Amino acid sequence: MLEFDAATTKLLDTAYQGSDFAKRRRASFDVVDPLPGDRILDLGCGPGLLTLELARAVGPKGLVFGLDPSPDMRATAAKRCEDEPVVQIIDGSAQDIPFEDESLDKAVAVQVFEYFDNLEQPLKELRRVLRPGGRVVISDMHFGTWVWHSADSDRMERMMKIWDLHLADREVPEKLPALLKDHGFQNACTIPLTLFDAVLRPDGMARMLMILMSGYAQKNGQLPDAEIAAWLSEQESLAAEGRFFMAITHFITYAERI
């Protein structure tokens, strides 16, 4: 698993304000459809960017709860949302959501479910805390759609497989519609959002992944430092030559609580 320590939190906070993540966040926001007075749970709120945007939308009569198990993430989210009185940042996990039954109107989880070994318990908890007719929005990447160009395909495959080790489930979106139906939700829909880089942008997802993946592989001793450096160097060279290509599809799945 990826450790969301202070250094990782700072890197992610910067990346999450970039264009790819803003696009993904906006797509999730639109599906949540926050209304004035809504009580919304941002499950795995991370640095609080979506939490803040939801707070502005629900207005003074609403409430937005940012739930995250990471102290560093919660600290960043609390600082970001400190001027929004309708926001509460809370310690907790998806396996035991600290809210009463049927107390929330909506819940959203962006890039959270891929870290769960068991998808069923969080879905049971989300159904419990949502009111009848309440909306759940689960937004995750499907790593089976991940394509990344390299002249050394074997090395690229090794890097991508190492990154898989930080996940619990790389195929969440394909499982969700059936699981949601099984756990008391109806009218499940899925919206694809492809994130694509043909340029290695400073604020893009590919740049962030290069930093995180190389650091993760090095920290866990999965590859020699020289091989990791060669992988990074090749991607920089491909970008300079106009031959860079990375794409992955993010899926936003939503449903109503029966």
pLDDT tens digits for 86-116? Answer: 999 999 999 999 999 999 999 999 999 999 9
How far apart CA 155 and CA 171 sit, in angstroms, is 22
How far apart CA 21 and CA 38 sit, in angstroms, is 24
Percent of the chain with pLDDT over 70: 96
Instruction: Give the CA distances from residue 214 to residues 6, 218, 223, in Å, rounded to whole numbers and listed in that order.
Output: 18, 6, 9
Q: Domain 6-257 in CATH: superfamily?
A: Vaccinia Virus protein VP39 (3.40.50.150)
pLDDT tens digits along 131-185: 999 999 999 999 999 999 999 999 999 999 999 999 999 999 999 999 999 999 9
| Residues 245 and 149 sit within 8 Å (Cβ to Cβ) | yes
pLDDT of residue 19: 87
The domain locations on the chain are 6-257
DSSP string, 41-57: EEET-TTSHHHHHHHHH
Helix (H) / strand (E) containing 144? strand 130-148
pLDDT band for position 203 (cuts 50, 70, 90) = confident
pLDDT band for position 1 (cuts 50, 70, 90) = low
Q: What pTM did the predictor assign? A: 0.93
**Tokens describing residue 2:** 């990826």
How far apart CA 242 and CA 199 sit, in angstroms, is 7
Q: Would strands 63-68 and 185-197 be described as parallel, antiparallel, or unpaired?
A: unpaired
Contact residues for 134 (Cβ-Cβ < 8 A; gap 6+):
102, 104, 105, 106, 107, 256, 257
